């Protein structure tokens, strides 16, 4: 259906990207045996990253905002790896300034991992509204491992400290 989209809205950066799901799926056609398994944490392959790059290659990112393309790449990797090719609107807001050394990329990866794992059904959350929910340690470990894979896209060889602090 050409009217079904995946949208990423980074509100604080005034960046909103929308792709028809047909285009998203077509960008990943070259991957062999792509299997969505939210509980099987896998690193982002070079082939997968090339598919992501092909998808966002024509997008225009504000030059003043360093690392936006990498953040979007990590978000797409986490979303597609955990939930597959399902339409959605992902809205990201943050009080952490980018590039300040405060762990904003780790916070993005942890929040994305947790939200998408919950959306996939891999994390079973209570449906209580307006209440802080806590995950048991094994669930947090899954969130942390996915977030670390996202951090690797953004930073190459992160220590894992920022995503661990954000998760636990």
C-beta atoms surrounding 142 within 10 Å: 21
Per-residue model confidence (pLDDT) at position 34: 78
Say whether pLDDT at 162 is over 80. yes
The Cα–Cα gap between 142 and 153 comes to 17
Pick the CATH number of 5-167 from 3.30.720.210, 3.30.230.10, 2.60.40.1930, 3.40.50.880: 3.30.230.10
Q: Closest Cα to residue 82, out of 57, 51, 109?
A: 109
Say whether pLDDT at 128 is over 90. no
SS3 state at 61: coil
> Please, are residues 146 and 108 in contact by the beta-carbon 8 Å criterion?
no
Q: Closest Cα to residue 72, out of 9, 24, 117, 20?
A: 9
The CA-based dihedral angle spanning residues 74, 80, 82, 84, taken in that order and rounded to the nearest 10 degrees: 180
Say whether pLDDT at 58 is over 90. no
Per-residue model confidence (pLDDT) at position 68: 84
Say whether pLDDT at 5 is over 90. yes
Q: Which positions ≥6 away from 63 have C-beta within 8 Å?
A: none
The Cα–Cα gap between 31 and 49 comes to 11
**Which residue in 12, 57, 130, 162 is the catalytic one?**
162
The Cα–Cα gap between 4 and 89 comes to 10
Say whether pLDDT at 94 is over 70. yes
* Sheet strands side by side (includes 88-92): 15-20, 5-10, 88-92
Digit-coded pLDDT (tens) for 35-51: 899 999 999 999 999 99
**pTM for this model (two decimals):** 0.90
- The reply to whether 1 belongs to the active site is no
């Amino acid at each position: 259906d050409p009217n079904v989209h995946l949208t990423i809205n980074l509100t604080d950066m005034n960046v909103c990207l929308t792709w028809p799901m047909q285009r998203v799926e077509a960008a990943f056609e070259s991957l062999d045996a792509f299997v969505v398994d939210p509980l099987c944490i896998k690193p982002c392959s070079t082939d997968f990253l090339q598919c992501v790059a092909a998808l966002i290659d024509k997008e225009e990112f504000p030059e003043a905002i360093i690392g936006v393309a990498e953040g979007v790449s990590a978000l797409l990797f986490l979303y597609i790896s955990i939930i597959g090719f399902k339409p959605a609107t992902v809205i990201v807001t943050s009080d952490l300034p980018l590039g300040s050394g405060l762990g904003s990329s780790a916070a993005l990866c942890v929040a994305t991992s947790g939200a998408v794992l919950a959306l996939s059904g891999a994390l079973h959350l209570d449906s209580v509204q307006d209440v802080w929910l806590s995950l048991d340690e094994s669930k947090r470990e899954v969130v942390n491992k996915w977030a670390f894979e996202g951090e690797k896209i953004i930073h190459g060889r992160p220590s894992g400290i920022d995503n661990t602090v954000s998760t636990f």
